[in-house]
Each structure stands twice: as structure tokens, then as C-alpha cells.
Amino acid sequence: MFNNFVYQNPVKILFGKGQIAQLGKQIPNDAKILLTYGGGSIFKNGVYEQVKQALKDRNIIEFGGIEANPTYETLMQAVELGRRENIDYLLAVGGGSVLDGTKFIAAAIPYDGEDAWQLVTGKAKVKQAIPIGSVLTLPATGSEMNFFAVISRKETHEKKGMGHPLLYPAFSILDPETTYSLPQKQIANGIADAFTHVMEQYMTYPVNAEIQDRMAESVLQTLIAVAPKTLGNPTDYEARANFMWAATVALNGLISVGVPQDWATHEIGHELTAAHGIDHARTLAVVLPHLLKIKKEDKSGKLIQYAQRVWNLSGTNDELIEGAIQKTIDFYESLDIPTKANAYGIGQETVDKIVKRFEEGKVVLGERHDITPEVVGEILGMSI
Ligand code: NZQ
Ligand code: ZN
């Protein structure tokens, strides 16, 4: 059934060439800003200078070194700095990791409990947050227009998602030209991540939600069409702009209103990153095809629709289902992203550990809540 929904997305998007120049107008003049960034890409591609130019004469301190798969350990240093300096605005400049990490910092600075990790596990509620703005330099996660953050903890090898409406950025600046400096591998990762985000919200069972389905299909088709163009010519502005906006729309909440969602691929993928440090998007490619094979009966309605509408396949229902799964595998592989976990040397030992962790947490996944730890074992078993 097409479910009831409430949809409100407050993020202001400033999209296109030169939009970083608008930064000054987005942040109150008297704000004390903490600018957060990652490992230094922003110094090499000119983004840092553009940001500083747009915020001349403003009160800014900086915190760098937020790593890919941002860690609680690193972020707590930023929290201490932000508290000590009494900052009242956060500006994240970088990819999804910097944005996610900054969302955690925004929630943790005003948090008065003992253990800020509880904000990630959900044991403590986010009650206040420092306002956030962002300059996105890597299309992939949708973090620029949603309220989620995925935070890792080194000490315990955990990777967990948190989310709260207070963590929506107030604004996000998306200039496709800032992404020209991305290595091919990160572009491929971004395409695969955005593609999988759509699949998590679309590849469930039909509820006659025509707008959501057709929007999801158009994002998938855009990613499929744009992938070879933007990989082949990194400075093709239009290809890059289409990719960047597709990645945002893939996870800004619009295509998931009123429909069932899966997210098992992401939950399993996060465990693979936590255990082996594999790039987020790459974990998704080693899970989704095998999940589709195992759940192909439950997902048959949507697999057939996806085969026909996204891949223009024809044939019997069985042929359409097999064809759709094969096309999905071929798409990831076309990005040079393997679809087998054994490509990363992952064996049964890791599978057993993940299954055990899900058993201990009594985790059940999927749109029908029937992907039990045992099924997770089957999916990963097929992947190794
Ligand atoms: O750290 P720097 O030096 O900036 O380099 C980064 C990093 O090494 C580099 N990079 C970013 N922009 C660049 C650039 N290099 C050159 N030129 C540029 N313009 O790219 C590397 C990867 O960056 P990262 O931010 O880690 O990548 P991504 O945007 O893919 O983010 C991945 C993280 O987001 C989480 C993932 O789990 C992972 O932790 N996710 C967040 C979601 C959300 N908030 O809704 C949903 C996603 O499913 C995902 O789970
Ligand atoms: Zn993702």
C-alpha cells in the first residue's frame, strides 16, 4: 500500500559554477565558525582558497584530518576544540565523511551527557545541534541534503548510522567543478553508492507509488548514462553536474516517501568496512547482487519492473529477473568495482564474525524484516 507520509526537507541548495562565492551570505556575520575538512584535498584543488575568499574577515577556526569513514576518536577532538572556542556555526568542506563527521560534531558539542558515542548508538537523543553549512566536493552519499551521518569507532571496530532532523545542513553548495580533482576511483565509488541508495529505496515490492518509482528509475538511468561520460572525461561539466545532482536526489528523502525500504545492503556493507576498511561503495557492490539472488522471489515484482523500465529487457519473468541481476553486476563491474567479497581476501571467518554480531544485536533487516543473521550468512557466503 502507498503509505501515508510527511515530507519536509529544509536544506537550501546552491548548485553550479562559482556558487562558493555565495558562502558569505549564507552564514550570519557574527558567527564564530569552525571549518572542518578532511585529509587536505581542499588545499590542492583550490576549494579552500575559494572558501576563505568568500568568508574574508570572518571569525573562523579550522579542524582538519577528518578521515574517510570518520571516527569518533578524531571527531571528539573537534568537539573539544569547538567547545573550548565557543563556536556557533560549523562549515563542512569535503566529501560525505567530512559532512557526516560534522553532523556528529554539531550534535556532540551541546550534548551534556557523559558519553557522546551514545548519540550514535541512539541510547542518547539529539536535543540540540550547532547549525551546519556545507561545501560538497564528492557526489555520492546525499549527506549534503539529508540528516544522516555514519560514524565509525576504531576502538570497537563499529560503524553505525545516526540521524536527526536537527542535523540537516542549513545549506549546501554543490559546484561540479570542485569535483574535477577527484581520482577515478572516487568517482566510480560515488556512482555505485548513489546507484545503491536508489536500489535500497526502490528494489522492494510494488505499492503503486508511480511518482516515487519513476523518479527512482530516472535517477538510475541517469547514473547509468552518465557513468561512462563522467569517468571518460572528468571535466565534462554537464556530465559531472548531472552526476552530482543525481547523487543528491538519490538520498534526499524524496524517492522514499510512502514506500517500503530495504537498507540491508548498507547495514551489511558497514560491517565489511568496519572489519576490513573497504571503501563504503565497494562493500555495497559485493552485497547487493547476492542479496537480490537470495531474495529474488520476494522482490520479483520490482525486479521485473526494473528489468523492463531501467534496462529495457524483454522475455519471460524468469529471464527478466535473471537479466536484471546480471545487468546490476555488469554495471558495478563496468565501474571497475568487484562484486565478490573474495576480491578483498574476505573469507568465511569474516562472514561468521558478522553473523555473530548481528545475532548478538538481534538484528533483522530488509523491507519484510526477514533478513535474519542466518540469511546475512547466506548472502555473504555467496559473495566469497
Ligand atoms: O579527505 P580528503 O583529503 O578531502 O580526501 C577525500 C577522501 O580521501 C577525497 N576527496 C573528496 N573530495 C575530493 C577528494 N579528492 C580530490 N578532490 C575532491 N574534490 O575522497 C576520499 C573519500 O572521501 P569520503 O568523504 O570518505 O567519501 P564519500 O563522500 O564517499 O563518503 C563516504 C562516507 O559516507 C558514509 C559512508 O559510510 C562513508 O563513511 N555514508 C553516508 C551517508 C549519509 N550521510 O547519508 C549515506 C551513505 O550510504 C554512506 O553510508
Ligand atoms: Zn551509501
The pLDDT, as a whole number, for residue 287 is: 98
State in Å: Cα 61 to ligand 2 middle.
30
> What CA–CA distances, in Å, run from 132 to 94, 100, 145, 343?
13, 11, 11, 38
The pLDDT, as a whole number, for residue 67 is: 98
Cell of 301: 515484482
Classified as helix, coil or strand, 239 is: helix
Q: Whose CA is nearest to atom 33 of ligand 1?
A: 97
The pLDDT, as a whole number, for residue 359 is: 98
The rounded distance, in Å, linking the Cα atoms of 269 and 286 is 8
The pLDDT, as a whole number, for residue 135 is: 99
For the chain, the C-alpha Rg in angstroms (whole number) is 20
Q: Nearest ligand, CA of residue 176?
A: 1
Report whether 56 contacts 29 (CB < 8 A).
Answer: no
- The pTM assigned to this predicted structure is 0.98
Q: Which of 308, 261, 260, 269 is nearest to 288 (CA)?
A: 269
**Dihedral pair phi/psi, residue 287, rounded to 5°:** -105, -50
292 Cβ contact list (under 8 Å, min separation 6): 203, 299, 303, 324, 325, 328
Report whether 33 contacts 27 (CB < 8 A).
Answer: yes
Q: Nearest ligand, CA of residue 273?
A: 1
Pocket test for ligand 1, best of 62, 262, 280 (most atoms within 8 A of CB): 280
Q: How many CB atoms lie within 10 A of CB 81?
A: 17
Cell of 203: 528494489
Classified as helix, coil or strand, 261 is: coil
Q: Which residues surround ligand 2, an ion (CB under 5 A)?
A: 193
Q: Which of 310, 313, 287, 311 is nearest to 371 (CA)?
A: 287
327 Cβ contact list (under 8 Å, min separation 6): 307, 311, 313
362 Cβ contact list (under 8 Å, min separation 6): none
The rounded distance, in Å, linking the Cα atoms of 253 and 245 is 14
Pocket test for ligand 1, best of 150, 167, 270 (most atoms within 8 A of CB): 150
The rounded distance, in Å, linking the Cα atoms of 256 and 98 is 25
Its ipTM equals: 0.99
State in Å: Cα 281 to ligand 1 middle.
10
Residue type, 265: T
Looking from the CA of residue 152, the nearest atom of ligand 1 is 39
Looking from the CA of residue 151, the nearest atom of ligand 1 is 39
Pocket test for ligand 1, best of 66, 98, 138, 249 (most atoms within 8 A of CB): 138
- Ligand 1 neighbours (beta carbon < 6 A): 38-42, 45, 68-69, 94-98, 100, 137-138, 140-143, 146, 148-150, 178-179, 181-182, 186, 189, 193, 251, 266, 280
Q: Which of 13, 311, 296, 300 is nearest to 134 (CA)?
A: 13
Looking from the CA of residue 181, the nearest atom of ligand 1 is 17
State in Å: Cα 157 to ligand 2 middle.
18
* N-to-C CA span, the chain: 36
The rounded distance, in Å, linking the Cα atoms of 362 and 375 is 13
The pLDDT, as a whole number, for residue 231 is: 98
Written in H, E and C, the secondary structure of 22-66 is: HHHHHCCCCCEEEEECCCCHHHHCCHHHHHHHHCCCCEEEEECCC
pLDDT in tens, the chain (384 residues): 899 999 999 999 999 999 999 999 999 999 999 999 999 999 999 999 999 999 999 999 999 999 999 999 999 999 999 999 999 999 999 999 999 999 999 999 999 999 999 999 999 999 999 999 999 999 999 999 999 999 999 999 999 999 999 999 999 999 999 999 999 999 999 999 999 999 999 999 999 999 999 999 999 999 999 999 999 999 999 999 999 999 999 999 999 999 999 999 999 999 999 999 999 999 999 999 999 999 999 999 999 999 999 999 999 999 999 999 999 999 999 999 999 999 999 999 999 999 999 999 999 999 999 999 999 999 999 999
